[in-house]
Amino acid sequence: MEENKISFSKKIKEELASKNEDSDLKNLAILSSFLKINGIYKIQNNKTRLILKISNAKIASYILELLKKYFNFKNNLFFNKSTKLNKISFYIIDIVENVDEILDKLKIDIFNDEINPYFYTNKDLIYGYLKGAFLASGSVNSPKKSNYHLEIKTTSSNMALSLLKMVNGIKDIEFNFRISKRRNDYIIYIKKSDLISSFLIMIGAIEGCLNFEDIRVERDYSNNENRLYNLDVANYSKVLKSSKNQLEDINIIEKNIGIKNLQNDKLIELCHQRLNNKEASLDELAKKMSENLKVNVSRSNVYHLFKKIKTIADKYRS
């Protein structure tokens, strides 16, 4: 595997593993998919043992955090760096108790390689399941290369066919994933750059999509409607994420000292504008503030005002 493929895939996966904002429904789908593809199951003395070998520390921490969130463990969970195997270091999550409870809640049948039909029933489950699959065994070429390629790999043909059915069954986007065999593995893959961007957005890799598109535009710019749509969706998602953090800061200020008691009219106005316009961009907020205050307020002013709001909120955050 090429170096740039590894590094770009790693960035995508670490972005996905850094997000803990998903719903419980989606988180359990992520876990189910990851354990289905990456889990090693052993039955000893009529008890099931689950072993996860993960080569990336951030992914290992993310999966461990999700497991701890939804399942109760008693000193039977180990998280250690393994000895080197083929010059690749692995982190080990070894579960020796309550494995059947985990498998039951995550709807995993270790004797059946197909995806449980439950995970096809709504978008949260589908997107979560595909995110977990990509974290477990996905990769994507760097857009610096002319050969665009995103894939998810499994050792089971039935699992690969189930993933193919799931992703190609999405109504909003015609992904048209294909399947092939590579040595002992089964691969589902796409090669169209705009579909790769759509897939990255779908599983939550917004920064990864923006990076992918920026590099791609530099290398071979063309007027592509899907690309512009993907960029709009990614930028809109960034606005929503920033707005969520800003609203949290404003609510902390209101709870502790009251917005009306801020010593700056622009700060007060910006707080009210954000509360009333949760999806507005910085430019849109600047325009509304300029109209209401009868003074010129720039996008840069709004950005620095939000920094001041955060500084004030941080004093009371604890």
What are the angstrom distances between the C-alpha of 255 and each of 14, 251, 262?
Answer: 35, 6, 13
As a whole number, the mean pLDDT across the chain is: 86
Alpha helix (H) ranges present in 204-264?
206-220, 225-256
What confidence score (pLDDT) does residue 108 get?
95
What confidence score (pLDDT) does residue 75 get?
47
Do the Cβ atoms of 130 and 200 come closer than 8 Å? no
First to last CA, the chain: 46
DSSP symbol at 120: G
Is pLDDT at 1 greater than 50 in this prediction?
no
pTM above threshold 0.85 = no
Is pLDDT at 37 greater than 60 in this prediction?
yes
pLDDT digits (tens, 9 = 90+) for 134-180: 999 999 998 887 789 999 999 999 999 999 999 999 988 899 999 99
Instruction: Pick the more confident residue, 78 or 164.
Output: 164
Do the Cβ atoms of 153 and 144 come closer than 8 Å? no
User: What is the rounded distance in angstroms from the CA atom of residue 164 to the CA atom of residue 187?
Assistant: 10
- What domains sit in the chain, N to C, each tagged with a CATH number? 3-219 (3.10.28.10), 238-316 (no CATH)
Residues 6+ apart with CB under 8 A from 175: 167, 168, 190, 195, 198, 199
